[in-house]
Amino acid sequence: MKNIRAVVIDDEASNRRLIIKLVSKLNSAFEIVGEANNVSSAFELIKNSKPELVFLDIKMPGGTGFILLDMFEEIHFEVVFISGFDFYAVKAFEFNALDYVLKPINPIKFARTLNKVQLRVKNKSTESGDLKEVMKSYDLKELVISKIPIHSGNNVMLINIKDIVYIKSEDTCTLFKTGTSEKYTSSKELSDFEFILENHPYLVRVNKSTYVNLNFVSSYSKGLTCFLTMKDGTEIEIPRRVKSKMLAVLSSNR
């Protein structure tokens, strides 16, 4: 059987050498056919060598790994992202079901990833459009999720986080309300989105089940029981124990 052609894109030579060594040692089905250390050289390498797998560093000189991928009209290769440990990045990979390897590389986990990719290539199950769809939810320069994907039937709605008025947990689902009065429901629980929401300073958790967008707060009451009134007319109660903290945040953002 023909070997699976792979390239390694990482700005650190020691990381490239380690990946090449591990691939050779752990899975003979792969053949490393090239390496690059920045976005521009990586683009030329992929275009010319036509690999079936790309080991891709997230942060490199000249741009991010996503910026590199965005340079391709279609992605006809598997991607395994290489990243230094970053809680947000790891959660984002898992949220979007992307393959990733953390630095320092764990050989056992790396071997599992190789086996998984090998199976997909063998079964020709790579969907070139899947990664492109995931990238639409990212700010490609900052590598933060700027749009939240909500699955609706056979479609995926991408909601701009800046357009969200509030997010509420409802039973085992999560409700998103936007400034255009549209409501979207995700079957995921609120906890699945927390790592995204907490990375945006204008989104604040006001109670156990609700986040609000400070940019959509029109007023708040002064009584012992405090209510936020959103620009769409929705009133949201703030527990007494977090009232002082919330008012301080609101004041600092006005």
Residue 1 has pLDDT above 90, yes or no: no
Give me the architecture of the 146-252 domain, per CATH. Beta Barrel (2.40)
Model pTM score: 0.85
Using alpha carbons, select from 50, 53, 82, 52 the residue that is nearest to residue 65. Answer: 82
Instruction: Rounding to the nearest 10 degrees, give the CA dihedral for residues 7, 9, 11, 16.
Output: -40
Residue 154 has pLDDT above 80, yes or no: no
Using alpha carbons, select from 114, 50, 55, 49 the residue that is nearest to residue 76. Answer: 50
Residue 12: which pLDDT band, with cuts at 50, 70 and 90? very high
Residue 252 has pLDDT above 80, yes or no: no
Residue 90 has pLDDT above 70, yes or no: yes
Q: How far is CA 240 from CA 218, 219, 245, 246, 247, in A?
A: 20, 17, 10, 10, 11
pLDDT at 253: 62
CATH 3.40.50.2300, the chain: domain bounds: 4-139
pLDDT at 119: 92
pLDDT at 61: 84
Instruction: For the domain covering 4-139, report its CATH number.
Output: 3.40.50.2300
For range 37-47, the mean pLDDT: 96
Residue 99 has pLDDT above 90, yes or no: yes
Residue 162: which pLDDT band, with cuts at 50, 70 and 90? very high
Give the sign of the dihedral formed by CA 103, CA 106, CA 110, CA 113: negative
- Return d(Cα 254, Cα 249) in angstroms, integer: 9
Residue 85: which pLDDT band, with cuts at 50, 70 and 90? confident
For range 225-238, the mean pLDDT: 88
CATH 2.40.50.1020, the chain: domain bounds: 146-252
- Per-residue pLDDT tens over the stretch 188-225: 999 999 999 998 888 888 888 999 998 898 888 877 77
Residue 35 has pLDDT above 70, yes or no: yes
